[in-house]
């Protein structure tokens, strides 16, 4: 079975497709923006990558959300809940982690099925 890589760089790819499964790299928003703005940006990036890979948000199997501060959980969830829209919700875990730079507040990793 072949492996396809999107936006491959020397360290990582933004997406890897194996069979009908799509693995996205952790997506982050613009450093220094609010949790709301970063979450909105991340979800837009996820939608764009999934579209390029032949899928969409209704086919997300699993999401891992990393927050720099769990105090931002409700703010991130407000954006997430609007985006999911109450349907096709994936399995999801959320945790707190020190992200690549202190300016990042949200990072989301997705696994999805291809259409």
- pLDDT tens digits, residue range 38-56? 999 999 999 999 999 999 9
Residue 102 domain boundaries: 3-113
> CA 70 to CA 54: how far, in whole Å?
33
Find the mean pLDDT for residues 11-34: 97
Q: Say what percent of the chain tops pLDDT 70.
A: 100
> CA 45 to CA 35: how far, in whole Å?
15
Contact of 50 with 83, CB cutoff 8 Å: no
Find where tokens 């020190």 sit.
98
Find the mean pLDDT for residues 82-91: 96
> CA 35 to CA 58: how far, in whole Å?
23
pLDDT given at position 99: 96
Domain with residue 99: its CATH number is 3.30.1330.40
Q: What is the pTM of this model?
A: 0.96
Q: What is the domain count for the chain?
A: 1
- Whether the pLDDT of residue 115 is over 90: the answer is no
């Amino acid at each position: 079975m072949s492996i396809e890589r999107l936006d491959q760089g020397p360290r990582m790819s933004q997406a890897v497709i194996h069979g009908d499964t799509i693995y996205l790299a952790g997506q982050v928003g613009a450093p220094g923006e609010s949790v709301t703005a970063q979450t909105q940006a991340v979800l837009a990036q996820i939608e764009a990558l999934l579209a390029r890979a032949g899928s969409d948000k209704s086919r997300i199997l699993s999401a891992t959300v990393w927050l720099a501060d769990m105090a931002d959980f409700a703010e991130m969830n407000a954006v997430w809940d609007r985006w999911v829209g109450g349907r096709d919700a994936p399995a999801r875990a959320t945790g707190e982690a020190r992200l690549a730079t202190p300016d990042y507040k949200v990072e989301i990793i997705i696994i999805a099925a291809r259409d």
